[in-house]
Every structure is written in C-alpha cells, then in structure tokens.
Chain A
C-alpha cells in the first residue's frame, strides 16, 4: 500500500515468524484485514457511500478464502457490529445515515471482523469529540482484551497515549527517537523531543500560554545532516550537527537516539 515515491528501504517487519517485507503483493493482500487490520483516521469518509455497512464488513471476508457460507459471514458481521456496541439495524444502513462516532465504530467492526492479531489504529479518534473519543477508545480496549490482539495506536495526543498504551515509541521525521514503557517515558523522557511533547500537554487549571515546539518539521526529502532534530533541539551540541545518534538501550527496555546520553 506504499505509494511511490515511498518505498521500504530496508529492515524487517515480523509478524510471528513471517517477514512481511518478503511477501508478494497477493500474499500481503491475504494478510491484510485477516491478520493485520487498520482502523482509519478519517472515519467520516472511510466507508463506501454506496454500500450498506454489513456488506462492507462481509466483502472483506469474501476475498480472504475463509471457507464460510454466506449465512456464517452474516453472523460474523453481526457479531462484529455487536462487539462495537452498534445496533444490528446499523448493518442494513448506509454510511450517510450514521453519526461520526457510529461510522468510527463501523470501521472498527470492519477491522475486527476476522479477529486479526494486530490492529493498527491510525489516530482513530482525531475526528471525534472528546466524549465519543473516550467511548471509542474504551471499545477498542475492551476488544483488545477479548481477542488478545496487539493494538498499535498512532497519534499526537500524549494524554491519550498515557491512558491507553503500555509501550510507546516516539518518532520524529521518519526515525525512532525513543522507545520504552509508558511509565519510563513519562517519568524519565530521554529524548528532548519527547520531553517537549510531554511539556506541550495543557494542564487543567493552568491558564497560561501553551508550550509548543518552535520551528517546523524538516522536509523528508531534505533532512538536516546528523540528528534529524538538531534544528529545533534546545540542547543541541556540535556533534548533533554532523553525526547521526545511535538508537540504543539506556536502561532495560528503554531506548533512545540522542547524543546527550552518550558518555
């Protein structure tokens, strides 16, 4: 699904024992939705406007050789709708008849219908109001516990991350800045970017000015030499401007790529 000029430049993507980068396009298609599924960001526009919700859950199963009869697939689709707390009637509705939160739930129903091992949730709540946001995240959390799937939650909202995830990775301009348990990262952030992200969270009762990170992210096709964050880092040193920091483990399970911590 990577569109040119994007490409996989190297490395491995392991799911169990299989390396996904080695799979053919057709094998990868079989993996999608059945083993790795996605909860899209813009749920408002992520459903096909001319198909009923249930048909959109079923067609994904149809293309995965599950060996199920039509009735079994309908049953599974209904189970998926129930799992995301949607009325079964919703299955017979068209996307334009649903509210934003319902559409997001419908999208989640599509992505969990085949009980995948990994669910990639790409800012699943960014288009929703806070109340719906909380409900949707609770639904995802409950489903994860029931199905035992791993959820990869992608997002900017550090508050949401702190509540939901166990282990988090902070990325900046395409490379990993920090990786660790959520406790480690919030109590001892190693990378200046992580520190500034956490500081930028608004605090209740503090009516001051929000703290942002000055500057803008560099263009991915024109990255600065050395550490990619050196143009915006408050602790920038000479070495940062010409040497790329190594991503390594500082305390058990807590990794970072920053010259500040290299002795």
Chain B
C-alpha cells in the first residue's frame, strides 16, 4: 500500500465528516420550534402558572446555550466544538451532558447490534452461498429461499409480532427493556443472563429481517462467480468440493459483501431506532428518538456526529482492508 493511497483515503474521510457534520448542523435548525421555550413551558405548566419574566428566562437560557447568536456564528462554534469532541449539555436532560447520555446508551446498542449484525451477516452470507451452490442439497436450493420473504417485512413489525407471541401470549421472554428493573445492576452471572434474556427478542427481530438481504446479495454474486471460467478450470483441477466452494466461489463472491458489512457496522452506532423503540431498549436509537422529539439540538448533534465519525472510520478501514481481500485494488493507488 502506497503512502499517497493512504493520504488520499484520510483526506476523503475528513471531507466526508466535514460535509456530513455541516448537514447535521443545519437540518435541525430548519424547524421554527424553540426547544428551550418548550422545555421551560413544560416545567412552568407543571407548577401551574407562567412566572413573570418568563421571556427573559428563555432569553437567558438561550444565551447560556449560545442560541441567541446569528446562525453563522453558531455554526463556527459548533464546528469548533465538534472538532474538539466537546459535545456540550443536553437541553432536554439539563444539566446532564451529551457525552454522559451517550455513554449510558452506547454500550447497550453496540453490544446488541454488533452481535446481531455479525450473526446476521454470517448466517445470511452462508445461506446465500449455499442457495446458489449447484451441489447444495434440495433444502438449501428450494426450501430456504422461501424464508427470504421475511426480509421484506420491516424489523419493527417482526418485533411487535415477537413481543405479542413470545412475550405476551406465551410469556417465555420479557416484554422489553434491557434488564429486569427489579434486578439491581450488579455485574454477576445472573445479571448477565438477564441481559441475554432481554436481548433475544430484539436480536431475533433484527436478524430475521436483515439476514435475507445478505443472503440475496450473496446468492446473486455466487451465481455470477459460478459462471466464471476459473470455476470450470478449478473443477478440471480435481479440487475437493469444499475448496471449490470456499476458496474459489465464496472467496470471490464475498468481496461486495464485506463492503456492505462495514457500512452496516457503522450504522450500529446510530442504533436501530425503530427496533429499540419497540423493545424500549435503552440504546442510542431510543435516545436519538427522544432527542428528535424534544428537538434537543446538542444531543442530536452529538449522536449524529458520532455516527458520522463511525461511518467515516469504517469506510476508511474497509479501504485499507480491501486491497488485502482483492489484490486487484491495491494497484489503483500505485
């Protein structure tokens, strides 16, 4: 790998982060809502009356959050803050800071979605490869493809179905949440089991609906690869079936799948908003949903910025790994 290749990739990552962060700043600003006023009104209505000098109070908070500045100045401050990973305070959960809130939520999301993304990827890719492999058994070639129908169903629908059947009707697994609230979070084995039990349904909802996509992509690539001359020649070389399958067919068909995997990894950080909401899972997805509902600028900025950086880094890593997987790519940079 040459240095110029590396430098170009790094530059590209920064360009992506900068432009996405800019969009991230302006889009929430397009609404005429004022989150501070809403928050203060909510508190005021709880006490039953609007205190005198309410508008001054809103103004002083606006000043505190820097929202009284002209937009271009806010943008510069925002960019400066983001560059220093200074994510500030949350409006809706004041005085908690954004890193605090994200820090609580992110591990739930990463734990749940990393595992499910990996399982879904391996399961789907393997099934897709076997579906297309001409020497697979009848089951893989005829029966399994019919399960792909699930891939067309949105994950939250499957989630609701699972909740209704497994958790509500048969009462086999908990309805939602990440752990039993009567159970104090202590780091022992029973707590771990509890977490596992709570994660089965959201994981299932996610895997059932995403594995099909991986399978279809892989099947398409496998069909193409099997028509290649090198597959015929490899067969004439008297190779064992598994070597033909893994080292020749799967190895070549896998390349586009890896790109997809990296991209879906970076979305993990954003959480699967709908699945997490359906299962009341305390991850980043739920947090983002709340942040958007309450127009908590700084929380939205924080979560989306982390998402952007994660995508940027994931793409960068794929760019670095790709030449190792496909020797033809490395030469582009030379």
Q: Please list the residues of chain A having a beta carbon within 8 angstroms of any beta carbon in chain B.
A: 1, 29-34, 37-38, 40-42, 44-51, 59-60, 62-64, 94, 96, 107, 110-111
Contacts and interface: CB of A to CB of B under 8 A. Distances in A.
B233 interface: yes
Interface string B313-333: 000000000000111100100
Nearest to B244: A63
A60 B232 contact: no
Nearest to A48: B230
B238 A64 contact: yes
Nearest to A120: B236
- Interface-central residue, A44, A51, A110, by most chain B CB under 10 Å: A51
B238 A51 contact: no
A50 B251 contact: yes
B238 A33 contact: yes
Contacts of A48: 230, 234, 247-248, 251-252
B237 interface: yes
- Interface-central residue, B228, B239, B248, by most chain A CB under 10 Å: B239
Main secondary structure of the interface of B (DSSP, over half): helix
A30 B230 contact: no
Given A1-B232, A50-B252, A63-B243, 18 more contacts: A32-B237, A38-B233, A40-B229, A40-B232, A42-B229, A45-B230, A47-B233, A48-B248, A49-B230, A49-B252, A49-B327, A59-B237, A59-B243, A59-B247, A63-B239, A94-B328, A107-B233, A110-B233
A125 B235 CA distance: 21
A77 to B, nearest CB: 13
A62 B240 CA distance: 9
Contacts of B251: 48, 50
A42 B238 CA distance: 18
Contacts of B240: 29, 63
Contact of A60 (B228, B229, B239, B331): B239
A199 B308 CA distance: 70
B327 A96 contact: yes
A1 B235 contact: yes
Contacts of A51: 247
Contact of A40 (B233, B252, B325, B327): B233
A15 to B, nearest CB: 14
A48 B243 CA distance: 12
A60 B229 CA distance: 16
Contacts of B331: 96
A47 B230 contact: yes
Given A33-B238, A59-B243, A60-B239, A50 B326 contact: yes
Interface range on chain B (Cβ under 8 Å from partner): 20 to 34
Contacts of B228: 45
B322 to A, nearest CB: 12
- Interface-central residue, B238, B248, B326, B328, by most chain A CB under 10 Å: B238
Contacts of A32: 235-238
A187 B234 CA distance: 40
Contacts of A29: 238-240
A119 B275 CA distance: 60
- Interface-central residue, A32, A37, A50, A111, by most chain B CB under 10 Å: A50
Contacts of B248: 48
- Interface-central residue, B229, B230, B243, B251, by most chain A CB under 10 Å: B230
Nearest to B238: A32
In the complex, the 6 A-B pairs of residues with the closest C-beta atoms, listed nearest first: A32-B238, A45-B229, A60-B237, A38-B236, A33-B238, A46-B233
Given A48-B247, A48-B252, A63-B243, A94 B327 contact: yes
A164 B232 CA distance: 26
Contact of A96 (B232, B243, B328): B328
Nearest to B325: A50
B241 to A, nearest CB: 8
Interface string B215-259: 000000000000011101111111110010001100110000000
A241 B84 CA distance: 89
Contacts of A94: 327-328
A13 to B, nearest CB: 15
B239 A30 contact: no
A175 B247 CA distance: 37
A63 B236 CA distance: 12
Contacts of B235: 1, 32
Given A48-B247, A50-B326, A59-B247, A110 B237 contact: yes
Contacts of A41: 229
